[in-house]
Amino acid sequence: MPGQNSSSETSARKILFPVHARMIRVLALAVLWSMTCTLGISSTPTAEPAPHPSPPIDFKHLPWSNGETLSYLVSWTAFEAAEGTFVAKDKGDHWEFNLTLASRGLVDSFYPFTGNFWSILLPSPWRSTEYGEYRFEPRCVIKERTQIDYSQHQGTREIWNEGKTKTFPIAEDAVDDLGTMLYHLRAGPWKPGDKRTIYVYESNSEKQAEAECQGRETRSFGTWPSQPLLRILVLPTKGTHHRGHLRLWMTDDARHLPLHAELEFRYGTFDIDLIKADKLLPLGH
């Protein structure tokens, strides 16, 4: 009857409402790529592995160009969940990474959301100095910024919509945020068996994960033709308590272009697919 929800709509609402908060965090993270995007949804804690330092990054030969724009479709089970677009901007003395995110499909019908996220990366060494987000949902608005003071080994999180400020310790000399971490995975060489320890700050704490190149394989995703790809697995190891993992496939060439990712956590699996790419770095640059 008009004005009444069908049983299927009611069931979908019951499923989607508990998911929305973590889904948005997941999308901002990993989404892609980034990781609480991943770090917020970790596997069962195990013995802390020995750290595997990331290789030095050559900032004069990064695998993306100024203005590179990548758009991804995020699906949850059989439903379209969101669409996100990453833009990399060279600001001269630093890089700025922006992500715009919006709900789609069934999620947009039951719990529409939008978000804008930014990350500030300083070169030599690779390290994030600022992360912020404006996120709008039917039941809440989040406006905040976190800045890192490496001289004091301290992070300061300003929650503007609540008028609160929180500080937390940073143990490492260089850490990522959810946005820079995703680009960090693309930077530097990868070959099967390579491992990297990732340090990321998120919310009010520093978290840790292990990334490993599981192998090379030739396959296609979506409209992208079959081609050689690197398969990377990311497993959180410290500072988290949930179950899950991130597995992504990126091109085995100079661009390390992420074509597909699978983010598994307690509610199921998110599939993240590259649907549009602009201003890509020319191969053989």
Token pair for residue 95? 């890089």
Q: What are the residues whose beta carbons fall under 8 Å from the beta carbon of 190, sequence distance 6 or more? A: 213, 230, 232, 256
Three-class SS string for 74-127? Answer: EEECCEEEEEEEEEEEECCCCEEEEEEEEECHHHHHHCCCEEEEEEEEECCCCE
Could you give the CA distance from residue 207 to residue 38 in angstroms, rounded to a whole number? 10
Question: Within a 10 A sphere around the Cβ of 148, how many other Cβ atoms?
Answer: 24
Q: What are the residues whose beta carbons fall under 8 Å from the beta carbon of 56, sequence distance 6 or more? A: 125, 188
- How would you write the pLDDT of the chain (285 residues) with one tens digit per residue? 434 444 444 444 444 444 445 554 444 333 333 333 445 444 444 456 678 888 889 999 999 999 999 999 988 877 888 899 999 999 999 999 999 999 888 778 877 889 999 999 998 899 999 999 999 988 889 999 999 999 999 999 999 999 999 999 999 999 999 899 999 999 989 999 999 999 999 888 888 889 999 999 999 999 999 999 999 999 888 765 555 688 999 999 999 999 999 988 766 788 999 999 999 999 876
Environment class of residue 158 by beta-carbon count within 10 Å: exposed (0-12), middle (13-18) or buried (19+)?
A: middle
Residue 275, CA distances (Å) to 84, 107, 109, 241, 251 in order: 10, 19, 22, 32, 15
Residue owning tokens 């085995």: 252
Three-class SS string for 264-280? Answer: EECCEEEEEEEEEEECC
Could you give the CA distance from residue 48 to residue 132 in angstroms, rounded to a whole number? 29
**The predicted structure's pLDDT at residue 267:** 64
Is the peptide bond between 125 and the residue preceding it cis, with omega within 30 degrees of 0? yes
Q: Work out the end-to-end distance of the chain between its first and last CA atoms, rounded to an integer number of angstroms.
A: 61
Environment class of residue 253 by beta-carbon count within 10 Å: exposed (0-12), middle (13-18) or buried (19+)?
A: middle
Whole-model pTM: value is: 0.84
